């Protein structure tokens, strides 16, 4: 079983890199968690946001394998409490498919990527910096793992 994050944007602030790496290091090795980045499309005066999203979308779709269970992170997705996320993650993992989370670029995700998604999850109704989304995703994955294993990290 593999868990993977495909995220647009390969350069993040040091604090994002440090926090993300810290949480990823805590995840169970059996998840084989991996980050794959897609470069942000160049934006010129003649480039529309739609064109940039489509270019990034093609790069994302190239990295998704046919058997992946794809979860798009989007503010319009399904909101889950941490307890609900624990159950949802268990359901996703029980499906036996590799799990692939997607974070789009500055203008969002191309409709083709959203159409490929098996699930759409909202971390918040707020618009969040994409680097912070990486950190929140990694932290929540660690938190739900800690809940499922009775690790003391999560306290109710």
Q: How far apart are CA 55 and CA 17, in angstroms?
A: 25
pTM for this structure?
0.92
Q: Does the residue 51 lie in any domain?
A: yes
**How many domains would you assign to the chain?**
1
Q: Does the residue 156 lie in any domain?
A: no
What would the pLDDT profile of 100-121 be if each residue is shown by its tens digit? 999 999 889 999 999 999 999 9
Task: Say yes or no to pLDDT of 156 above 60.
Answer: no
Q: Does the residue 138 lie in any domain?
A: yes
What would the pLDDT profile of 57-91 be if each residue is shown by its tens digit? 999 999 999 999 999 999 899 999 999 999 999 99
Q: Which CATH number do you get for residue 127?
A: 3.40.1280.10
Q: How far apart are CA 44 and CA 13, in angstroms?
A: 23
Q: Does the residue 117 lie in any domain?
A: yes
Q: Does the residue 124 lie in any domain?
A: yes
Q: Does the residue 88 lie in any domain?
A: yes
Number of neighbours of residue 20 by Cβ within 10 angstroms: 22
Q: Does the residue 40 lie in any domain?
A: yes
Supply the range of the domain harboring residue 35: 3-148
Strand partners, 33: none
């Amino acid at each position: 079983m593999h868990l993977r994050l495909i995220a647009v944007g390969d350069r993040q602030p040091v604090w994002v890199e440090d926090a993300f790496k810290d949480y990823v290091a805590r995840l169970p090795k059996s998840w084989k968690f991996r980050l794959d980045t897609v470069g942000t499309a160049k934006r010129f005066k003649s480039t529309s946001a739609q064109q940039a999203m489509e270019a990034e979308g093609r790069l994302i779709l190239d990295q998704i394998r046919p058997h992946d269970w794809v979860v798009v992170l989007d503010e319009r997705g399904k909101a889950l409490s941490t307890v609900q996320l624990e159950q949802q993650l268990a359901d996703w993992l029980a499906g036996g498919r590799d799990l692939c989370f997607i974070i789009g670029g500055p203008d969002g995700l191309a409709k083709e990527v959203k159409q490929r998604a098996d699930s759409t999850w909202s971390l918040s109704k707020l618009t969040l910096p994409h680097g912070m989304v990486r950190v929140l995703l990694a932290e929540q994955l660690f938190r739900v793992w800690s809940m499922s294993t009775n690790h003391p990290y999560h306290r109710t």
